[in-house]
Amino acid sequence: MFDAPPDLAELDPDELEQALARLGAAPFHGRQIYRWVYRRGLERFDGMTDLSRPLRETLGRTLSFSTPRIAAREHSGDGTQKFVFGLADGRSVESVFIPDTPGMTFCVSTQVGCAMRCGFCLTGKMGLARHLTAGEIAGQVRVLARELHLQHRRFNIVLMGMGEPLHNYEATMKALRMLAAPSGLALTPRRVTLSTVGLVAGLERLAGEPWIPNLAVSLHATTDEARHALIPTSRTLRLADLVTACRRFPLKHRGRITFEYVLLDGVNDTAADAARLGGLLRGLRAKVNLIPLNAAPGIPFARPSDRQVDRFARSLAARGMTVSVRKSRGRDIRAACGQLILEGGPRRSHAQQAAALLDG
Ligand code: SAH
């Protein structure tokens, strides 16, 4: 068996320099290549005109270069766009562009499906098909930036698409390293938000990284019992331990942790929940982002009324918490939180979805 040639899309700046060194080429070519790939959106070596022809030919012979392919692109009435990306093995993931948040935001996936099985999330219903590679995670951003002509503008990234980023830790952090390269898109940590269901070991590891994105923690409940019912994979975790890990998490000057809280009618939106939430987060530099449920067939919960959402938000604010209510975006194209799912969508049975996944 021959080894597959290394894939340029999977190389972080250091690895690219090492690959160049093995070819006898100077390390600074790595920066040129990163510029072409990340800032100009090139997908082949041919067009890299500041590299000598022999070097381009050598690179073309010795490296492969894969880029997620846009399989579908849908425009929502509210300006949101959903991209379905086809991957090299035939599987697909979805990414969402949200134009005015007030900045520009890309919502990116880290896995095909998700293993966390949150009871209110359609992606969770699919289960995990596989992790994305670093190149596939960064590749979504690379293609979005090019397609939306944002390579030279500022944009934000939220790791809130399909998947649990801390369950795919290495690839996620490597993708961020690739996107942060100064010769590429030069993404800064303050423009990135990693959203996690709260895997404590992952949080502790993240706390020790040199490059730490903003943190959002999906809390969703105020008692262990309620949380375990909503997020079955959290059963071995106590809320108290999660909150302790959050208290230890290093925050930048004026930084805060966002706590996401999906509001489910009659389930976690009571006055007692508001009081407990206040207690849990007391003394933490936190803001609470309420997400009224995006309902869908097959999801056994309902979205509370606007009045109930408002009441819950006000009772948190009255306890001194900073609260926002997430506006649902792109619901008409199933691009909203918890609605990203592969071919077929909510009307298909799980078996059909699983079959679609396996068929790729
Ligand atoms: N695995 C990460 C990213 C998930 S998506 C995490 O758990 O944080 C981002 C947010 O959307 C999470 O807070 C998730 O719980 C929430 N969400 C999932 N399904 C939803 C739905 N149907 N309606 C509203 N929010 C949902």
SS3 call for 107: strand
Residue 121 alpha carbon, nearest atom of ligand 1: 19
Confidence (pLDDT) at 141: 98
Residue 114 alpha carbon, nearest atom of ligand 1: 1
Confidence (pLDDT) at 339: 78
Asked which of 208-217, 220-229, 299-308, 326-335 is least confident by mean pLDDT, the reply is 326-335
**Is 164 a known active-site residue?**
no
- Per-residue burial over 138-161, b if 16 or more Cβ lie within 10 Å, else e, is bbbbbbbbbebebbeeebbbbbbb
CA 43 to ligand 1 centroid distance, Å:
32
Measure the CA–CA gap between 123 and 95, rounded to whole angstroms: 13
Do residues 10 and 135 make contact, with C-beta atoms less than 8 angstroms apart? yes
CA 217 to ligand 1 centroid distance, Å:
10
Measure the CA–CA gap between 313 and 335, rounded to whole angstroms: 24
Over 50: is that where the pLDDT of 349 sits? no
Let me know if 88 is exposed, middle or buried by CB neighbors in 10 A (0-12, 13-18, 19+): middle
Name the residue of 299, 337, 339 to mutate for ligand 1: max ligand atoms within 8 A of Cβ. 337
Measure the CA–CA gap between 145 and 342, rounded to whole angstroms: 22
Distance of CA 185 to the CA centre of its chain: 17
Measure the CA–CA gap between 350 and 360, rounded to whole angstroms: 15
Measure the CA–CA gap between 217 and 149, rounded to whole angstroms: 31
Confidence (pLDDT) at 342: 63
Q: What is the mean pLDDT of the chain?
A: 92
Residues at CB less than 6 angstroms from ligand 1 = 116, 118, 120-121, 160, 164, 195-197, 218, 260, 262, 291, 293-294, 337-338
CA 28 to ligand 1 centroid distance, Å:
41
Confidence (pLDDT) at 253: 85
**Is 74 a known active-site residue?**
no
Domain with CATH 1.10.150.530 in the chain: 8-62
Decide which of 3.60.10.10, 3.40.640.10, 3.20.20.70, 3.30.530.20 is the CATH code for 69-333.
Answer: 3.20.20.70
Average pLDDT over residues 93-121: 95
193, β-bridge pairs: 158, 214
Over 90: is that where the pLDDT of 63 sits? yes
Give the predicted TM-score (pTM) of the model.
Answer: 0.93
H helix and E strand count, the chain: 12, 12
Segment (H or E) for 322? strand 322-325
Name the residue of 106, 128, 231, 262 to mutate for ligand 1: max ligand atoms within 8 A of Cβ. 262
Of the candidates 196, 134, 139, the residue with the CA atom closest to the CA atom of residue 165: 196
Residue 216 alpha carbon, nearest atom of ligand 1: 8
Do residues 243 and 280 make contact, with C-beta atoms less than 8 angstroms apart? yes
Segment (H or E) for 94? strand 92-98
- Dihedral Cα 270, 272, 273, 274, nearest 10 deg: 90
CA 329 to ligand 1 centroid distance, Å:
13
pLDDT band at 340 (very low <50, low <70, confident <90, very high): confident
DSSP, res 38: I
Catalytic residue among 10, 17, 94, 164: 94
Residue 164 alpha carbon, nearest atom of ligand 1: 1
Residue spans of beta strands (DSSP E) within 99-203? 105-107, 111-113, 128-131, 156-159, 192-196
Taking the CA atoms of 219, 224, 228 and 229 in sequence, report the sign of the dihedral they define. negative
Over 80: is that where the pLDDT of 347 sits? no
Of the candidates 194, 158, 188, the residue with the CA atom closest to the CA atom of residue 80: 158
Strands 214-218 vs 92-98: parallel, antiparallel or unpaired: unpaired
Share of the chain above pLDDT 90, in %: 86
Across the beta sheet with 322-325, the strand order is 69-75, 81-86, 92-98, 105-107, 156-159, 192-196, 214-218, 257-263, 286-292, 322-325
Residue whose CA is at the smallest distance from ligand 1 atom 2: 196
Name the residue of 164, 195, 215, 340 to mutate for ligand 1: max ligand atoms within 8 A of Cβ. 195
* Domain 8-62 CATH class label: mainly alpha
Q: Which residue in this structure is represented by tokens 């302790």?
A: 244
Residue whose CA is at the smallest distance from ligand 1 atom 24: 293
Over 90: is that where the pLDDT of 223 sits? yes
Q: 308-338 pLDDT, tens per residue?
A: 999 999 999 999 999 999 988 888 888 888 8
